[in-house]
Amino acid sequence: MKTFKTRVVIYLAVPIICFGCSTTDNWAIHPIYEHVEETPKQLQKILANTYRKDEIYQDYNTKMIAAGLFRSEEYREFLINSIQSSYHLDEAASLEISIDQKQQFANQFEFLLMIYSGTNEKTDFGKKDSTWQARLYDDDGDKVVPTRIQKLKNTDKERLLLGKYLKELDRWVEVYKLSFPKLNKSATGVNLGSEPFRLEMASIEGRIAFSWEDTAKFY
């Protein structure tokens, strides 16, 4: 399989576009920035700060392609506004979603993990006996394990929203929401650490890793 071509140099922003191509050839010939012009500038900026990508190759064949998206405050605000607009929610329903998202951000580090296994077969990630294990290294360099791994259905509102802009986010791509415990340093007066946040997904088959340098966005 050919490697990805990063054709749109300036637009770091919309990095998940080719997720879901149902064959490895499609993954090779369609770069991930294919439909950048269709993505709102606000979302482009958000994804530039929150999205990361990594791959595992084995004997020149694709073993796994994955993307990690940190659910930052800015991303959550965009999500709330988009859901409100798409589903014509009233003020009370919108407020409920907003409060819930703020509580989640205050108490948890949350990520979306998008996985394409290199074939049309699903991974066993998220299961108790899975060979793939996730871990987060925080700004203090401490390792944290997820408190919850939730596989998003194709009908999930957040996945549907991303699908409006990420045209190839199809049934072959698995999307998971990972939640890690969080000390709200901003509220408790604890100083931020100097280490970048690093999310890893590892097994005997290889390791996927994403890192974020701007730790302030996590608090």
- Report how many domains make up the chain: 1
Q: What pLDDT digit, counting tens, does each position of 23-76 carry?
A: 333 333 333 434 434 788 899 899 999 999 999 988 888 888 899 999 999 999
93 vs 170 pLDDT, higher one: 93
Q: What pLDDT digit, counting tens, does each position of 87-128 carry?
A: 999 999 999 999 999 999 999 999 999 998 877 778 889 888
Q: What pLDDT digit, counting tens, does each position of 77-90 carry?
A: 999 999 999 999 99
DSSP state of 176: E
Q: What is the pLDDT of residue 122?
A: 80
Q: What is the pLDDT of residue 49?
A: 94
Tokens of 103: 């509580």
Q: What is the pLDDT of residue 68?
A: 93
DSSP state of 125: T
Q: What is the pLDDT of residue 35?
A: 42
200 within some domain:
no
| Matching residue, tokens 């509102």 | 157
Dihedral of the alpha carbons of 184, 89, 178, 148, in degrees to the nearest 10 = 90
161 within some domain:
yes
| pTM for this model (two decimals) | 0.80
Q: Where are the beta strands (DSSP E) in the chain?
A: 51-58, 61-70, 108-116, 133-137, 143-144, 148-151, 174-181, 197-203, 206-212
- Rounded Cα distance, 30 and 2, in Å: 11
159 within some domain:
yes
- Rounded Cα distance, 185 and 167, in Å: 37
Does residue 134 register a pLDDT over 80?
yes
Q: What is the pLDDT of residue 205?
A: 85
Q: What is the pLDDT of residue 17?
A: 38
Length of the chain: 219
157 vs 16 pLDDT, higher one: 157
Q: What is the pLDDT of residue 59?
A: 83
107 within some domain:
yes
- Rounded Cα distance, 28 and 172, in Å: 15
Tokens of 69: 């998206």
Q: What is the pLDDT of residue 168?
A: 58
95 within some domain:
yes
Q: What pLDDT digit, counting tens, does each position of 7-21 carry?
A: 333 333 344 334 444
Report, as an integer, the average pLDDT of 120-139. 90
CA quadruple 26, 32, 37, 42: dihedral positive or negative? positive
Domain that residue 92 falls in: 24-133+147-184+205-210
- Rounded Cα distance, 157 and 218, in Å: 23
215 within some domain:
no
Q: What is the pLDDT of residue 170?
A: 75
Give every strand in the sheet of 197-203, ordered side by side.
143-144, 133-137, 197-203, 206-212
